[in-house]
Structure 1
C-alpha cells in the first residue's frame, strides 16, 4: 500500500481532467520541462509535469510541479508518504520537517480522481501550493521546497525512469 501511495504523489493532468489543472496562472507562465505518468502494477496513479522559467531543469531558478491524481487519495496518506520518501532519501526528519508535515496536513485536501495539487516555487524559494479551488497555502522555506521536490527530482528518487522523464533527461 505504501508503494501505491508513494506513487500517488507524482501526478500530471490526464487529458480528460486537464480543465481542473489549468487554472494555476503561475504554473502556466513557466515553460514545460517534462512530464510522466506513474503506474504501479496495473494502477495508473498520477501524472506529473515539471516546469521552469527556461524550460530546462539544470540551473533552474524557479520550478513548478503539477500533480494530477488518477485515483482518490486521503490527505493523510499524502503527508505520510512525504515523510516516508524523505526518510528513503536520507533526509533527516527534524523538528522543522515535522512542523512542515503538520502544515501540509492542514493545507492539503483529500484528492479525488482528476484533482491537481500544484507546487510553484516563489522568487524567495518558498513553496506555494494550489489545489482545485485555488491557493492552498505557502510554506516559507527554500529548504522545504528543495526537500519536497527531491521526492521527484533527486537522483535517488524511487521512480528513476519517471524522474528522468520529468527532468527531460535523455534515456
Structure 2
C-alpha cells in the first residue's frame, strides 16, 4: 500500500512518478468522507528516494478539503522535518518570525520517522490542518494561513519541487486554498 509522504524538500532534488497505490487510507476517509486520489509522486534528493506523496481531494465537485500523505523511505527526526518545513515556508515568502514559530510548533508535533512510515496532513476549512502519524491523529493546527503556507510547500507554483507538484496535481488544479483559479 502506497501513501503520500510529506516534508523534507530541498533545492536540487529530482522527482520520479510513483505507481501502484491502493485504496484511500481510512483516516483520510474518516475526516473527509468520499475522496479521490488526485495525483502521486516521489521525491528523490541527490539520487536518494526520500518519500512518496499522494494528494487526495474530496469527491464532491466543489469540495475544498484535501489531504497530503507522505510515506518516508529514509529515517528523519521530527525536529529535522519541522526545521525543513520552516525553511521551505520561508522560501515561499512566509515571514521569518512566523515560519520560525510554526517550525517550533511542528517540532513538538512531528515524530521521528523510519522507512515505510507515514505522516498525513488533512485540511478541512474552518477546522484547520490535522496531522496523522501512521493513521493516528497526533495534532491539529487552526487557520487557513498556516494551511496555505504548509501545503504550499508542495502545491504552490513557487515550490522548490515543481515536478513533484505537477505529479501531485495530475490533470487537475490546486485546491482553492492554494490557488483560486486553475
Pick the TM interval, shorter chain.
0.7 to 0.9
Q: How many Å separate the matches in 2 of 1:44 and 1:55?
A: 33
* Structure 1 position 118, deviation (Å): 0.5
Alignment of 1:81-92 (within 5 A): 81-92=84-95
Secondary structure of 2:9's partner?
A: helix
What is the match of residue 131 of structure 2? 129
Q: Distance in 1 between matches of 2:38 and 2:167?
A: 9
Q: Deviations over 1:56-89 (max 9, x none)?
A: 8xx7511110011011111111111111111211
Q: Which runs of 5+ in 1 are unaligned?
A: none
Is 1:48 matched with 2:74?
Answer: no
Q: 1:98-109, aligned counterparts within 5 Å? A: 98-109=100-111
SS of structure 1 residue aligned to 2:130: strand
Is the helix fraction higher in 1 or 2?
1
Aligned length: 160
Q: 1:69 aligns with which of 72, 89, 93?
A: 72
- After superposition, the Cα gap between the structure-2 partners of 1:133 and 1:55, relative to the gap in structure 1 and judged at 3 Å, is closer
State the secondary structure of the residue aligned to 2:96: coil
- Asked if 2 retains the 8 angstrom alpha-carbon contact of 1:13 and 1:116, the reply is no
TM (normalized to structure 1)?
0.79
Partners of 2:133 and 2:19 in 1: how far apart? 16
Extract structure 1 runs of 4+ deviating beyond 4 A.
12-16
Query: What's the counterpart of residue 44 of structure 2?
Result: 39
Q: Distance in 2 between matches of 1:133 and 1:168?
A: 24
CA RMSD between the two structures? 3.1
- Please, what TM-score do these two structures have when normalized by structure 2? 0.75
